[in-house]
Structure 1
Amino acid sequence: MSAVVCRYCQSENVVKYGRIHNGKKRYMCYDCHRQFTPDAQKKYISEEQKQLVDEMLTKRVSIAAISRATGISKSWLYRYVKHKETSI
């Protein structure tokens, strides 16, 4: 048996299923059919970073440039901008 346990259903019936973009191992659970990375951690965007993004957006800096400067993913930035537009 493998030492890896599914993070969703706690089943031990898992198999290696490749790697994610940064090289960490990915697994798939045969019971719930979900894919997961056992030691994945959420990255939270601080309020200071959000304020910096807001300032850069008001200066009409591109999403790609904001992503490079802050280290925040472009997909998160697109969702953030869309959320800001709908909340106005």
Structure 2
Amino acid sequence: MKQYTQIECRYCQSSDLVKNGHDEKGTQRYRCKSCRKSFLVDYTYNAWKPGIKEQIDAQTINSSGVRDIGRNLKIAKGTVISHLKKKRLNK
């Protein structure tokens, strides 16, 4: 027995939605018929997850390279560089 969850538009809270393809990771996209905006239900940006900055610091201490850290944490190397620059300026 399937259970369905009611999906609402994150912008206008309307439940009048249509499927609108997939993103590059294969996650289903939806488009609201009311406000005509497109969105993902479960959007996650890995660089903003709790604990990522601490993991960048820990891997830097262990002499991991910028590209290696980005690959391990599934974030862009530019994000790693940006964090390290900000940390260096705050010392």
| Normalised-by-shorter TM-score class | 0.5 to 0.7
Gap regions ≥5 residues in structure 2: 1-5
* Alignment correspondent of 1:45: 50
Equivalenced residue count is 83
Gap regions ≥5 residues in structure 1: none
1:34 aligns with 2:34: no
Summarize deviations over 1:4-50 as a string: whole Å, max 9, x none. Answer: 3212211123221111232221012233333211234565231xx53
* Alignment correspondent of 1:6: 9
1:84 aligns with 2:87: yes
* Alignment correspondent of 1:66: 69
CA 1:68–1:84 in structure 2 vs 1: closer, same or farther (change >3 Å)? same
The Cα shift of 1:55 comes to: 4.5
Q: Check whether the contact 2:53–2:83 (CA below 8 A) recurs between aligned residues.
A: no
Identity across the alignment (%): 27
CA 1:51–1:38 in structure 2 vs 1: closer, same or farther (change >3 Å)? closer
* Alignment correspondent of 2:3: none
The Cα shift of 1:73 comes to: 0.9
Q: Check whether the contact 2:16–2:33 (CA below 8 A) recurs between aligned residues.
A: yes
1:54 aligns with 2:57: yes
